[in-house]
Structure 1
Amino acid sequence: MSEFDELQAVIRRHANERQGEERACEALINALYHALRAASGPGLPLNNVTLDFTVDPTNCLRPIPTGGFHAAWLRLGLCEVLVRVRRVEGAFQGEYGDGGSFRLETGGRDELIVLARRILRDVADTYAGAGREQVRRLN
């Protein structure tokens, strides 16, 4: 068997695992989208939240190997936040925005609401802090 054939066999052999992982990560991102819409509390949906799945800019291989990140842009009104998620030892590990990170064991509704609120706070802090940093650099 040539090295090329061996590569193809490995990719085929792990296809189901990769696809399952992709479905789980995309389901979590979709659930996070719904959590962001509900982050203001019951009966107060955030209507300016949209979801756009995208190719993770750091992935250098396609199909994405097992353990690779799956990504989406979450539009939060006037800004967009890149969210990246992967499975690590059965848990969801992710990154968002400008250095935010998270780890969710189950991806349950309560965990996602807490994460959604943290993302909103962190993004607001990033924009609030960015303005102050510019002023300091100018003075």
Structure 2
Amino acid sequence: MSEFDELQAAIRRHAHARQAEAQACEAFLNALYHALRTASGPGLPLNNVTLDFTTDPANRLRPVPSGGFHAAWLRLGLCEVLVRVRRVDGAFQGEYGESGCFRLEQTGEDALITLARRMLRDVADTYAGAEPERIRPLN
């Protein structure tokens, strides 16, 4: 078997795991979008939040290998923020904006709304010239 054939076989062998991981990350990004829409509180939806899935600009391989980042642009009114997320040891680990980071062990509604509110504060701080919070678990 040639090196090329070995590469093709490896890609095929792990296709299901990669697809499951991609679906989980996209579902997480979609849930984060909904959390951002409701971050102002019950009955106060933010209508000017949109989600646009994109290829992560840091990925150098397609399809994305297991453990790679999946990305989306979230439009938050007058700005857009790139959010990158991947699965690490069963948790969602990600980055957003200039230097925002997160790690969520649980992805319940409260945890996602907490992350959404932190993201809004961090992005506002970036535009105001302040330093966003550094990585730390939210739950």
Question: TM exceeds 0.5?
Answer: yes
Q: What amino acid is aligned across from residue 27 of structure 1 in structure 2?
A: A
1:103 equivalent to 2:103? Answer: yes
Cross-structure match for 1:11: 11
- Please identify which structure carries the higher helix content: 1
Paired residues, number? 130
Cross-structure match for 2:55: 55
SS of the aligned residue for 2:74 comes to: strand
Structure 1 residue 36 displacement after superposition: 0.1
Summarize deviations over 1:47-91 as a string: whole Å, max 9, x none. 100000000000000000000000000000000000000000110
1:77 equivalent to 2:77? Answer: yes
Name the CA distance, whole Å, in 2 between partners of 1:64 and 1:57: 11
SS of the aligned residue for 1:119 comes to: helix
Summarize deviations over 1:92-114 as a string: whole Å, max 9, x none. 00000010000011211111000
Name the CA distance, whole Å, in 2 between partners of 1:29 and 1:106: 14
Cross-structure match for 1:26: 26
SS of the aligned residue for 2:129 comes to: helix
SS of the aligned residue for 2:20 comes to: helix
Sequence identity of aligned pairs in percent?
A: 82
Q: What amino acid is aligned across from residue 49 of structure 2 in structure 1?
A: V
Name the CA distance, whole Å, in 2 between partners of 1:96 and 1:63: 22
Cross-structure match for 2:133: none
Greater Rg by CA:
1
SS of the aligned residue for 2:58 comes to: coil
Structure 1 residue 23 displacement after superposition: 0.2
Task: Map residues 32-47 of structure 1 onto 2, 5 A cutoff.
Answer: 32-47=32-47
1:91 equivalent to 2:57? Answer: no
Name the CA distance, whole Å, in 1 between partners of 2:53 and 2:107: 18
Unaligned runs of 5+ in 2: 131-139
SS of the aligned residue for 1:95 comes to: strand
